[in-house]
Amino acid sequence: MTNLDIASPAPPAAIPPQDLEALRQTLRGAACMPREAGYDEARTIWNAMIDRRPGLVVRCEGAADVICALEVARRHGLVLAVRGGGHNIAGSAVCDGGLQIDLSPMRWVRVDRENRIAHVGPGATLGDVDRETQAFGLAVPTGINSTTGIAGLTLGGGFGWLTRKYGMTIDNLISADVVLSDGRLVRASESENPDLFWALRGGGGNFGVVTNFEFRLHPVGPQVLSGLVVHPFEDARDILTRYQHLLDEAPDELTCWAVMRQAPPLPFLPEEWHGRKVLILAMIWTGDMEEGEKATAALRGLGTPIVDVVSPHPFVGWQAAFDPLLAPGARNYWKTHDFAQLDAALIDTLIEAVGRLPGPECEVFLAHVGGAMSRVAPDATAYPQRQAHFVMNVHTRWREPSEDSACIGWARDLFQAVAPHALGSAYVNFMPEDEAGRIREAYGPNYRRLAEIKRAYDPDNLFRTNQNIAPA
Ligand SMILES: Cc1cc2nc3c(=O)[nH]c(=O)nc-3n(C[C@H](O)[C@H](O)[C@H](O)COP(=O)(O)OP(=O)(O)OC[C@H]3O[C@@H](n4cnc5c(N)ncnc54)[C@H](O)[C@@H]3O)c2cc1C
């Protein structure tokens, strides 16, 4: 089943035929109307809960196409959505009616090996970036699923396996080329339009369309010590309590996420465990391999695991290790909180909720962050929450619409139950579409400056199909 229903009526034409023809003559890419080639591909996104039909899709090949598409949207007063990799849980990459800018054709990754810099197009996936940079033993910190788009991930902040060692994705952004709401192409960096550069690093797609990212690269791999240690869920309380104490002392090279779910049928798991609840510790050591064996020993020594498959793996492979569990096409709903620590009451509440998991693909994960990420001042970038040690994502995932209310209800209940233990901030890239009222809270003290920069760069809120920051 896909989220497409070919029996549904097409949305009304976004622009008159003569304007469409003129646009087609101008573009290097393609303008796609409903039912034309490319239209369904562009509007179909990762989360199958989202089924929207733009009036027109412009599949851009470069900044000039973006400028044309924005001009059309402005002239006709169209609702606008911007798509990078199409992974955002809230479905902000696609709108009903109006115009969708699809950047997925802009997928270049050009590595300057000498200077350890990469130029990346806004349609590139994390896998594209890893593939090209790892050819030279280099990497930029991104996320943990290789099909995620680099654009949306970067603009919201971006964290993953390299964050504790080398910072967030935004901490490694050197510059961005941006087409503004009035059609001007500008460069944002520490020295050019620094206010815009500040806002882009966490403020999402509110300020313009980024047509090129320039990243700083670091030497990584190509082999890294990484893998999973899987425990019976019955031991979760004890393991999580000791896990957090060990992580309090962890060096930046060590990152270990905790995942609670039913065991998928992974080939290295004994068959009798498939479908039973487990606690998975997913870890990486980004330094010297021998040191890593010593540094991970205490974590790997916790309890009596069912299996321990931590060993040297190619970094590119580890970056894609979770892809099979995160493939597009399922219905998904997320809830997120930031935590400074996992206190006993929080662990108990999580364990009680996982005891009532609504489905075999649902999970709660605790992303282990901090390290280099926490050494950046909260007001140095728009992303404000530098003191979190764990970012929780309640990842509810199922197949049938009839299960919507049970799954969404479970996630909301868990979210409420653990709220007293949370820091109050939230990662905008993990927020579903019903959380528009949480944006101020998400940005905390940085919201005011974001709203002022929004007024300067997008006073009419053309870029509003997103986690929206209203112009001050
Ligand atoms: C399976 C999965 C795993 C994930 N894992 C992680 C993780 O490990 N770490 C992490 O930090 N995040 C993670 N995320 C969250 C991810 O960062 C967000 O979903 C992000 O929005 C994805 O970017 P995208 O380009 O694919 O999304 P899209 O849905 O295409 O874009 C999201 C929004 O970003 C804006 N946008 C996109 N491109 C541009 C552009 N070029 N210019 C201006 N605005 C733009 C638009 O407002 C757009 O609506 C994960 C998401 C999924 C689905």
CA–CA separation, 318 and 220 (whole Å): 12
CB 124 near ligand 1, within 6 Å: no
CA–CA separation, 397 and 326 (whole Å): 9
Q: Tell me: pLDDT of 232 over 60.
A: yes
Please name the CATH architecture into which domain 2-102 falls: 2-Layer Sandwich (3.30)
CA–CA separation, 329 and 47 (whole Å): 6
CB neighbours of 370 closer than 8 A, spacing ≥ 6?
164, 388, 389
- Ligand 1, atom 47, lies closest to the CA of 205
Burial of residue 182 (number of CB atoms within 10 Å: 0-12, 13-18, 19+): middle
Which CATH code, of 3.40.50.2300, 3.40.309.10, 1.10.150.20, 3.40.462.20, is assigned to 223-430? 3.40.462.20
User: Could you identify the residue written with the tokens 């282990």?
Assistant: 368
- Ligand 1, atom 51, lies closest to the CA of 87
Query: pLDDT tens across 94-115, in order?
Result: 999 999 999 999 999 999 999 9
CB 30 near ligand 1, within 6 Å: no
User: Residues in the chain, how many?
Assistant: 472
Strands (E) across 217-306 are located at: 218-219, 223-232, 254-262, 277-285
- Ligand 1, atom 48, lies closest to the CA of 93
- Identify the pLDDT of residue 23: 97
Are 409 and 468 contacting, i.e. CB atoms less than 8 angstroms apart? no
Give the closest residue to 246 by CA, choosing from 374, 363, 389, 375: 389
**Ligand 1 atom at shortest distance from the alpha carbon of 91:** 29
Tokens (6 digits) for 355: 């005891």
Q: Tell me: pLDDT of 73 over 70.
A: yes
Query: pLDDT tens across 177-214, in order?
Result: 999 999 999 999 999 999 999 999 999 999 999 999 99
- Ligand 1, atom 4, lies closest to the CA of 145
Are 169 and 140 contacting, i.e. CB atoms less than 8 angstroms apart? yes
Confidence class for position 6, pLDDT limits 50, 70, 90: very low
CA–centroid distance, residue 462 to ligand 1 (Å): 19
Ligand 1 pocket mutation, candidates 96, 161, 172, 429, criterion most atoms within 8 A of CB = 429
**Ligand 1 atom at shortest distance from the alpha carbon of 157:** 11
Average pLDDT, the chain: 96
CB 326 near ligand 1, within 6 Å: yes
Q: Tell me: pLDDT of 5 over 90.
A: no
Going from N- to C-terminal start, the domains of the chain cover: 2-102, 109-220+447-457, 223-430
109-220+447-457 against 223-430: fold identical: no
3-state DSSP assignment of residue 422: coil
Query: pLDDT tens across 319-352, in order?
Result: 999 999 999 999 999 999 999 999 999 999 999 9
3-state DSSP assignment of residue 284: strand
CA distances from 47 to 105, 366, 455 (A): 20, 21, 31
Cis bond before residue 222 (omega within 30° of 0): yes
- At 159, phi and psi to the nearest 5? -145, 155
CB 59 near ligand 1, within 6 Å: no
- Ligand 1, atom 9, lies closest to the CA of 143
**Ligand 1 atom at shortest distance from the alpha carbon of 367:** 8
**Ligand 1 atom at shortest distance from the alpha carbon of 83:** 30
CB 391 near ligand 1, within 6 Å: no
Which CATH code, of 3.30.70.1290, 3.30.465.10, 3.40.50.300, 3.40.1350.10, is assigned to 109-220+447-457? 3.30.465.10
**Ligand 1 atom at shortest distance from the alpha carbon of 211:** 41
CA–centroid distance, residue 417 to ligand 1 (Å): 27
Torsion from C-alpha of 224, 227, 229, 230, nearest 10 degrees? 170
Query: pLDDT tens across 352-408, in order?
Result: 999 999 999 999 999 999 999 999 999 999 999 999 999 999 999 999 999 999 999
- Ligand 1, atom 8, lies closest to the CA of 143
**Ligand 1 atom at shortest distance from the alpha carbon of 46:** 53
Are 310 and 226 contacting, i.e. CB atoms less than 8 angstroms apart? yes
User: Could you identify the residue written with the tokens 């924005």?
Assistant: 70
Are 152 and 169 contacting, i.e. CB atoms less than 8 angstroms apart? no
Confidence class for position 14, pLDDT limits 50, 70, 90: confident
Question: How do 223-232 and 331-339 pair as beta strands?
Answer: unpaired
